[in-house]
Structure 1
Amino acid sequence: MYQFVRFFLFIALVGISSSAFAQKGFLRGKITDGEFGEGLFGATIVQQGTTNGVTTDFNGEFSLTLPAGTYTIAVSYVSYRTQYFENVEIKAGEPTILNATLLPDVQELDAVEVVAERTRDNESSLLTIQKKSPNVMDAMSSQSFKKIGDSNLAGAIKRVTGVSVEGGRYVYVRGLGDRYTKTTLNEMDIPGLDPDRNTVQIDIFPTNTLENIMVFKTFTPNLSADFTGGMVNVETKAFPLEKATNISLGFSYTPGMNLSNDFLSYKGGKLDFLGIDDGTRALPFAANTTIPSEPQNDPRLEELTRKLNPEMAASRRMSFLNTSFAVNHGNQKNYEKYTIGYNAVLNYQTNFDYYDRAEYGFYLKNNNPETNELFKNEERIGQQSEASVLWSALFSGAIKFDNHSISTSLLHTQNGIEQTSKRVNQDFDQNVATLSEDILTYTQRSITNNILIGRHQFNKLNVEWRNSFTRSEIDDPDFRVTSISVGDGDTTLQGGKGAAINRFYRNLVEINESFKADFSLPYGESSKLMFGGLGSYKKRDFSVLNYNLRVTNPDRVSADANTFLQEDNIWTASEQQGTYLFGNFEPANTYTGAQNLFGAYVMTEMQVLPKLRAVYGLRAEQVTMFYTGQNNSGSIVYDNEKTLNELNLLPSANLVYNLTEKMNLRGSFNKTLARPSFKEKSVSQIYDPISKITFNGNIDLTQTYVNNFDMRWEYFLKGNQMVAISGFYKTFDGHIELVAFEVAPENVKPRNAGQSMVVGAEIELRKNLDFFGSFFENLAVGTNLTLVQSAVDLKSVNTGNGGETEYDLRARNLRAGEELKDTRPMAGQSPYLVNAYMNLQLPKQGTNINVSYNVQGPSLAVVGSGRLADVYTVPFHSLNLNASQTFGLRERSTLTFGIQNLLNDAREQVYKSYGASPAIYSSLQPGMQFSLKYAFAF
């Protein structure tokens, strides 16, 4: 009932409409407080020489109705400098956008005269927010998105200092891994399509629906404490300043991947085009069904076996072009006593990836310490295809009246991924076998999120509350893996050689409900007190069903995987020959996790000296986690066991010294933390049939505690130009890393890694080249460099083997002549990160050309153990080009051409060991992609 009321409110907000004003237009915009960087409540916007005007609401926004014509507009506020905007043109039925920043008028300076433009400039507003923010932060505006030409946030955010995008969708800040980067939507937690990650898949956010993104790099008590590298907040448009309808259609082509007859696939369901399995892959019987054993000679065994989908082999078909389609509509309606705003967005895209040579390897150090080269334990090489459908729908609406506003948004994202592989798996150690493998998988992921936001102004007290409900699901129906042993002219299913036929069914559902309230009260001169609280509840249900197919005569079988479940080859009780089903429900592959979190904070922002501002406070968070599950043997059973119960007090202090009006010097210290996920803090064992890696939970994992020190010098120039130099130092107690087993390298497990540290520096420059001449005034360059050094104290890392440390373990496996250091790099931490771009914008011609380059240094992906060497991610050099041209009536059409991965670089992870050549852990060649998109604005 509760969710129904919320949904009804949402429909009511976006469904209100009215007739347009016949011969009148609208002047709309936002007035920003130049002292705090926030919307200025109560500023006056007046038609010069008249009393016709309005005041801004508590967000600093306004809408003034005026007859068509040209005006001079005055923007004023008590004790602030008045600004005059001349030649402001109002057109009938259209909004004109005017944004301004007012500064304190301590010396009663003369008024500033500015000519208003019809295009919105949010970059200046965001720079003001950055300049006045208590946090070290970076941001991008909707105007920047338009300049760059990226269609989704994954492409655009790579321009932000210290930010990289992993796998085309996950945000890393300052090179720190996913665990230390948090992504929020409208300041509220939202799990991604992979709930085991802290960050959201940001490619689901189209840039034309966003107001801005802000990347917070230092903590203040009003932010959630479980981030360290940074927090990325994605803000959607609730009150569009003008009516806008946009539609776009795009295609991209990668040679060898698209329009290829070699693309691997298999027959799916009728709703695969929507990323939804229609039941074709569903388990054909109840999960708790008991499967009779073959010696029982039970006819039900035949019946259950015949219910399975018989297709087991990968087949070939032609892949189409990658496609994308988007449409969005938004508007604002002004009434006498209230204002309505709404947005509706739909995005749909398909993608085809084909790798003619996908390579995975497992290598070990040689038993002889005199031999440096790694021993090839196992190798998998073959073809791999992935067909992906991703669509999202976002509806948002808001209403403002008096000093109050209520807004809501409803987001649903659906992702379906069909992955098919045909490869050869060779074992060079234990059974010295060669396997021919067909792997057919399908993953269905979805997120449904509803956020309700209220903002209220009671005299000087500002109140804001937010409620968010999210349901996230990952469903892996019917993973099919066929491994047939081939050698000496024979094909067998002998288990001793690793041959097998497996079917997997996995499902994960997570519910997340959270509520937060924030209060702000100004006091004294240029100071304010802030306090608030947060409550959230998360619950996750996870299950895995594992079945095998066996044959009565495994010594000689067909090499064609499709033959096993052909009608004539299925086991019968009368003949007792053929293929039959084996396996039952296993409680060890099922778990339930829950988390309760309650937080409260108090902080103050005060002017200590005329040029020195102090922001300090304390956040308290109480978290409890519960786990239900058991290990494989059943010797350890947990029934709603409380696995985590912590009260954390997290202080924060930030100082901002205004060297000049445009220059700041910042310093901060704060404490944050990182918590293990449900999967990590468990006894579960989760097998990935593609990589053949088994993830093992660790019920003894503890939280990671982090001390953060930051300094930053920043100089803000006109427009979107700036120079900044930052330094940071972080210490970690209990850093969580993924480690492979010494004797079983295909098994990995998370563990706390003792004491660690990170020290780094950032340099950022954004500058127009107008000093070279008039032509270069349209040419802008930007670059940012992040340098990081990290270290883990090996003697503080307990391996869990009788008190043995990682230092001891590595010492036992040294190569001849190798020296062992006391430290190594942190897992997931890159030593450097480079982002650079050059942008040419010719407004009169409607042309924009952007060239960007991104690279992230080698990072430790999997920590070695014993004979297993460390695995590092090889730097991927990404050079991309985007060129757009606006044309047509009123320049409403835009054609964008792009080339991705101009350097044709490969994505690789390799083993690294003393004196040895790098050995492939995984290798994929994404190729060079060409794209073309057409967009039309109504």
Structure 2
Amino acid sequence: MLKFKHLLAVLLILSTSVAIAQKGKIRGTIIEDSNGEPMIGANVVVNKVSPDNQEIIEGALIGAVTDLDGQFTVPVEAGTYNVKVSFVTFQALTIEGVVIKDGEVNNLGQIRLKEEKSELQEVVVTAKAIRTTEAALMTVKKKAPGMMDGISSAKFKLIGDATAVEAVKRVTGVSIEGGKYVYVRGLGDRYTKTTLNGMDVPGLDPDRNSLQMDIFPTSLIDNMIVRKSFTADLPADFTGGIVNVETKDFPDEKIMDVSFGIGFNPSMHFNSDYLTYEGGSTDFLGFDDGTRALPQGARATQVPGPFTGNTEEASEFIRSFNPNLAAQNQTSLMDYSLGFSIGDQLQLGKSEDDDKPKLGYIFSLSYKNNTRFYDDVSYGEYQKYKDPERTEMRYATTQDGQLGENNVLIGALGGLALKSKYTKLRLTAMRLQNGESRAGQFNIQNDGEAVGQSGYVAESDNLEYTQSALNNILLNGTHILKNTGWDIDWRVSPTFSTLEDPDIRKTAFSAVNTDNPRFAAGEAGNPSRIWRSLNEFNINSKIDITKKYSFNDADAKFKFGGSHTYKNRDYEILFFDVQFFESQSWPNPSQEVVLNEENLFPSETNGIYYQSGNNNPNPNAYSSNVNNTAFYVSNEMTPIRNFKTVLGLRVENYVQRHTGRDQAHASGSSNGRNLVNEKVLDSFDFFPTANLIYSLTDDQNLRASYSKTIARPSFKELSFAQILDPITNRIFNGSLFTYADWDGNLTETRIDNIDLRWELFQREGQMFSVSAFYKYFDNPIELVRIPAQQTSTEFQARNVGNGRLLGVELEARKKLDFISPALRNFNISGNLTMVESRIDMTDQEFNARKEYEKTGENISDVRQMAGQAPYVINGGLSYNNPVLGLNAGMFYNVKGPTLAIVGTGLYGDVYDESFHNLSFSINKTFGKDDKTSIDFKVSNILNDKRESFYQSFQADKEVFTSLNPGTAFSVGVNYKF
């Protein structure tokens, strides 16, 4: 943190001193109208004119020549200027009335040059007109080799969204999960991928493909692109879509923003029933200060106890654990956030010398503190009756209670970039720190008549803390080989990440309302504590080489390159539970008194001591690594007029190794399995791709594409790990465990993709499109309830039968001025995706389902695909008035009921219920030059619940998980210096 303070101080001094010394500047970006690409070497000439533009005060001056990004900077004295832009064989453009003030930058934005035609004269526009377009991104989309959508920095500035997650919800075809993750076309995380600056960057949840999007302020983002079809230069492990966040390297104008926000949820904040517990002094910074550290000596296989050491050692060891096992009531506070961003570009050398290198810098620091309190939480485990006449389900275990959460997220992003006319070098660093504290109290009911259940009533207090940290660096070089048509882009990005769950505590009294309250291993369990730790290192590198050439009098590109990704993860779980040396006696059965002195060994009452549940070697520890080497070649050309082909082939060699063992081996059995850096995945795959684009008109395309992609299991899925969720008591098992209906061999999912699309582009970002898509999944991976585990609730990732889906997608963005000119500032956008998916069941799944078939039920050997929503609806109505500095919008999103967990035999399927998310936002700028903005947002206006249910033939839905996020209100203030 100290280094960031030093860097911030230097940047503040630099920006202040440079601002004092500099003249004003005219900046802009020249792009080619036909394809949206930057124009290198375009000439910019300026004339100083009178304020009314009636006479030239100063003659023509050669202002600048554009660099490899098509950008230019012209330093000038304060005044009014006409700017002429020209390039050989292109139509010249003059921009009149460009006003410059001392020390300030007038950014003209994207200036489009059209190819020259003999009948056309030089075009003249005003500075105001040139600045209002967001046409470049739309042109890129129209000319893109694959199907894509996106949103640009120009749009961010127009609509006033503060973070990437707020802005990306305006992109058609995407939905936001959990307020921070982006999914495309209703496919879940396994089939959606997020990249940062074109590189694979793991998020704070290392088992997700998606990077959380609420950490990026829009002031630092150049654009966000959603690719819906695969091309050979992209990683092959996505199917629904890939979302790339591109950060700025050379800000168009000086950035210095400070923001502050507060949020209020009536059902959660200022609530005196809020549950928490005493943590460490640094919890507010997102990490533990050592309060929850593992006690000394706890790693030993035989920890000190009545039978493994002397009395003094045993007594000392039990007292080394934090004695707090109870959740506490406290009044909850509101959400709040802080943010700071700074950025600019500096001319190195004499400011008049445009050939000198430029230095760009960006820096952002953000802090978010969110509090959630769910006062009506439900978790349920339900079973089917064996009797075919009984269609209702019966409960095995239900938990009802309250849950409090406090989440702290600190994000820092900084970057430096050095650019000459044909070369650019960029260094970007990101640090994320996240800490979440959870405390819950639950009433547990267990039905002894259910299969595998003992029958009990219990009350449980649960205390948890999770801290994660991510450090990412990007080093990127771009080189244009002058007058050759060759471009080279290379990138190296290492990431160091950690995730720790220190001292998870669960304390559940059984039979609390009887004469014999107790802890019982066969009922709610003895008090337990868990320490989990994950350390992961990733390094991703790639190079892309492009040769631009002409074919059939049209632009063409030949592109090839390669990449290598290395990942290594070390994971460990340590488990300890309470044992009793004496008979239990709990006259006051409260979690607050369990570890009181009078109950600890060698006391004659209870005689509590801790027992290690960790063998040596530890079956819940593993080390895994991946090497993925890829090469690709692609060619984009127009063989006949208006018909473009983009053909490519990607090759990936993927090897995953694992070191770990099962419980049997750890216990000394010769029948156990032990892997030592053994290959668990080894594949060499070809991924062909073909994209065909026929331009019906300049603004209409017909697209068709075919590609092969892949989805691979995560480290934890391909392991022997058993990961317990202490609150729900649900267990995730690694797929290497074998069962009667599972051989332990989890493989990749290979997918064939076919896409068709018609798209129409109109002025000011308006568009319509109709798409159809088909996907075939070979060995899809889904989360399955393990039928053999009937005394506990356990799940496993497995390959299920082959799957397929057929979908249609309608997208529209339209201004409402076609109804009336009075509605010119209103825009409506919408996206409807409808999908029919099916899985051909394996014989094991089909037979298990048939075993519990009900009278009148006819079980088919096909079902819905897990993780695929049958429909997704996104809609929005927005109002944008740049003159008033007012932007407002109402947005709606819903996904259809989605199969989340595959149930078999005794257990029904679990479906995620539709969550109807309606939100409203309004942003208003104030003051001189609109430097102050205030935004107000309301989320979950319909007060919908997030729920998952067990479903079975002619049975009422039964709760699997139920949480009510409530309706939230937030206000934010942003000031630009």
**TM-score, length basis structure 1:** 0.95
Deviations along 1:616-653, one digit per CA (max 9) or x if unpaired, are 11111111111000011111111111111111111111
Cα distance in 1 for residues equivalent to 2:707 and 2:645 = 13
- Structure 1 residues 112 and 791, CA gap change in structure 2 (3 angstroms): farther
Mapped to 2, the partners of 1:724 and 1:554 lie a distance apart of: 72
Q: What's the counterpart of residue 392 of structure 1?
A: 411
Shift of 1:805: 2.8
1:677 maps to 2:688:
no
Question: In 1, are the aligned partners of 2:584 and 2:605 still within 8 Å (CA)?
Answer: no
Consecutive unaligned residues in structure 1, runs of 5 or more: 798-803
Per-residue deviation at 1:112?
Answer: 3.0
Query: Superposed, which structure 2 residues align to 1:21-40 within 5 Å?
Result: 24-40=23-39
Distance in 2 of aligned mates of 1:247 and 1:20: 19
Q: Is the 8 A contact 2:41 2:67 kept in 1?
A: yes
Residue 839 (structure 2) aligns with: 792
CA–CA distance in 1 between the matches of 2:87 and 2:731?
A: 63
Match of 2:804 in 1: 757
**Alpha-carbon deviation of 1:567?**
2.0
Question: What amino acid sits opposite 1:661 in the alignment?
Answer: D
Range that drifts further, 917-926 or 483-492: 483-492
Cα deviation, residue 43, structure 1: 1.9
**1:148: Cα distance to partner?**
4.2
SS at 1:50 equivalent: strand
Q: Does 1:427 align with 2:452?
A: no
The answer to whether structure 1 residue 697 and structure 2 residue 742 are counterparts is: no
- Residue 549 (str. 1) matches residue 559 (str. 2): no
Indicate the residue corresponding to 1:320 in structure 2.
333
Task: Give the drift of 1:718.
Answer: 0.9
Which piece of structure 1 moves more, 583-592 or 855-864?
Answer: 583-592
Structure 2: which amino acid aligns with 1:91? Answer: K
State the Cα deviation string for residues 835-872 of structure 1 (Å, max 9, x = none).
11111123332222211111111110101111110110
- Give the aligned partner of residue 801 of structure 1: none
Rounded Cα–Cα distance in structure 2 between residues aligned with 1:914 and 1:584: 41
2:445 is the alignment partner of 1:408: no
The secondary structure found in structure 2 opposite 1:747 is strand
Picking from 641, 646, 661, the partner of 2:698 is 661
1:311 corresponds in structure 2 to 324
Q: What is the CA deviation profile of residues 5-50 of structure 1, one whole-angstrom value per residue up to 9, with x for unaligned ones?
A: 9x99999999976634757321112122233332222222222672
CA–CA separation in structure 2 for the residues paired with 1:783 and 1:830: 17
Matched residue, 1:588: 619
Residues 15/399 of structure 1: CA separation in 2 closer, same or farther (3 Å cut): farther
Contact kept, 8 Å, 2:202 with 2:211, in 1: the verdict is yes
- Cα distance per residue 1:804-836 (max 9 Å; x no partner): 432222122211101122311111100111111
Asked if 1:773 corresponds to 2:820, the answer is yes
- Matched residue SS, 2:638: strand
1:840 correspondence with 2:848: no
Match of 1:520 in 2: 546
Question: What CA distance in whole angstroms lies between the structure 2 residues aligned with 1:600 and 1:649?
Answer: 10
SS at match of 2:575: strand
Residues 862-871 or 141-150, more deviating: 141-150
Alpha-carbon distance between aligned partners in 2 of 1:811 and 1:147, rounded to the nearest angstrom: 57
1:410-559 correspondence to structure 2 within 5 Å: 410-428=429-447, 429=450, 430-459=453-482, 460-486=485-511, 487-525=513-551, 526-553=555-582, 555-557=584-586, 558-559=588-589
Mapped to 1, the partners of 2:84 and 2:808 lie a distance apart of 44
CA 1:653/1:897 → structure 2, altered by over 3 Å: closer, same or farther?
same
- Tell me which residue corresponds to 1:800: none
More moved, 196-205 vs 352-361: 196-205
Q: Are the equivalent residues in 2 in contact too, given 1:13–1:399 (CA < 8 A)?
A: no
Task: Please give the secondary structure, in 2, of the residue aligned with 1:620.
Answer: strand
Q: Tell me the amino acid that sits aligned with residue 569 of structure 2.
A: R
Aligned to 1:824: 863
SS in 1 for 2:574: strand
CA contact (8 A) 1:321 1:351 kept: yes
Please give the per-residue CA displacement for 1:364-406, whole angstroms capped at 9, x wherever unaligned.
Answer: 1111111111111110000101011111011111111231111
Give me the whole-angstrom Cα distance separating, in 2, the residues matched to 1:122 and 1:245.
24
Give the equivalent residue in structure 2 for 1:568: 598
Query: Where does residue 379 of structure 1 map in the other structure?
Result: 398
Contact map agreement 2:755 2:771 (CA 8 A) in 1: yes
Q: Does 1:226 align with 2:237?
A: yes
Amino acid at match of 1:50: A
SS in 1 for 2:503: strand
Instruction: State how 1:105-144 maps to structure 2 within 5 Å.
Output: 105=116, 109-117=120-128, 123-144=134-155
**1:37-72 CA-partner distances (Å, limit 9, x unpaired):** 322222222226724132211121111222222222
Q: Secondary structure at the match of 1:294?
A: coil
Of 750-759 and 447-456, deviating more is 750-759
Q: CA deviation at 1:129?
A: 0.8
- Give the conservation status (yes or no) of the 8 Å contact 1:175–1:856: yes
8 A Cα contact 1:25 1:95, kept in partner: yes
Question: Deviation at 1:733?
Answer: 0.3
Q: Is the 8 A contact 2:66 2:421 kept in 1?
A: no
The structure-2 alpha-carbon separation of the partners of 1:278 and 1:120, relative to structure 1 and needing over 3 Å to count, comes to farther
Query: How far does the alpha carbon of each residue in 1:300-349 deviate from its partner, in whole angstroms, 9 at most, with x for none?
Result: 22111000000001011111110011111111112331111111101101
Q: CA deviation at 1:297?
A: 6.4
CA shift in 2, pair 1:86/1:690, >3 Å: same
Contact 1:22 1:92 in 2 (8 A): no
- Within 2, Cα distance between the matches of 1:882 and 1:499? 47
- Which stretch of structure 1 is more off in the superposition, 577-586 or 745-754? 577-586
User: What TM-score does the superposition give when structure 2 sets the normalisation length?
Assistant: 0.92
Whole-Å Cα distance in 2 between the matches of residues 827 and 321 of structure 1? 37
Q: Is the 8 A contact 1:886 1:895 kept in 2?
A: yes
**Partner residue, 1:579:** 608
Please give the alpha-carbon distance, in whole angstroms, between the structure 1 residues aligned to 2:344 and 2:31: 22
Q: SS of the residue aligned with 1:915?
A: coil
Deviates more, 1:773-782 or 1:188-197: 773-782
Q: Give the 3 Å change call, closer, same or farther, for CA 546–536 of structure 1 in structure 2.
A: same
From the superposition, tell whether residues 450 and 16 of structure 1 become closer, same or farther in structure 2 (CA, over 3 Å): farther
The change in CA–CA distance for 1:639 and 1:769 in structure 2 (over 3 A counts) is same
Which shows bigger deviation, 891-900 or 404-413? 891-900
8 Å Cα contact 1:14-1:398 kept in structure 2? no
CA RMSD of aligned residues (A): 2.2
Is the counterpart of residue 922 in structure 1 residue 970 in structure 2?
A: no
Q: Distance in 2 between matches of 1:120 and 1:439?
A: 56
- Match of residue 247 from structure 2: 236
Give, in angstroms, the shift of residue 142 of structure 1.
2.2
> 2:679 — aligned with what?
642
Q: Secondary structure at the match of 1:39?
A: coil
The separation in 1 between residues aligned to 2:701 and 2:819, in whole angstroms, is 28
Pair 1:56 & 2:95 matched = no
Q: Which residue of the other structure, out of 275, 298, 301, is the alignment partner of 2:310? A: 298
* 1:14 and 1:342 in contact (8 A); partners too: no
Q: How many residue pairs get matched?
A: 924
Q: 1:447 & 1:121 partners in 2: Cα distance?
A: 38
Name the CA distance, whole Å, in 1 between partners of 2:22 and 2:119: 39
Matches for 1:46-195 after TM superposition, within 5 Å: 46-47=45-46, 50-98=60-108, 99-105=110-116, 109-117=120-128, 123-195=134-206
1:720, distance to aligned residue in structure 2 (A): 1.6
Aligned residue identity for 1:350: N
Q: What is the CA deviation profile of residues 691-746 of structure 1, one whole-angstrom value per residue up to 9, with x for unaligned ones?
A: 21111111311111011111111111111211111111111101100000124361
8 Å Cα contact 1:379/1:427 also seen in 2:
yes
Could you say if the C-alpha distance between residues 857 and 120 of structure 1 is closer, same or farther in structure 2, counting changes exceeding 3 Å? Answer: farther
Q: Residue by residue, what CA displacement relative to the aligned partner does 1:548-590 show, whole Å, maximum 9, x if unpaired?
A: 0122345432421121211222102x85852111115331010
- Map of 2:786 onto structure 1: 741
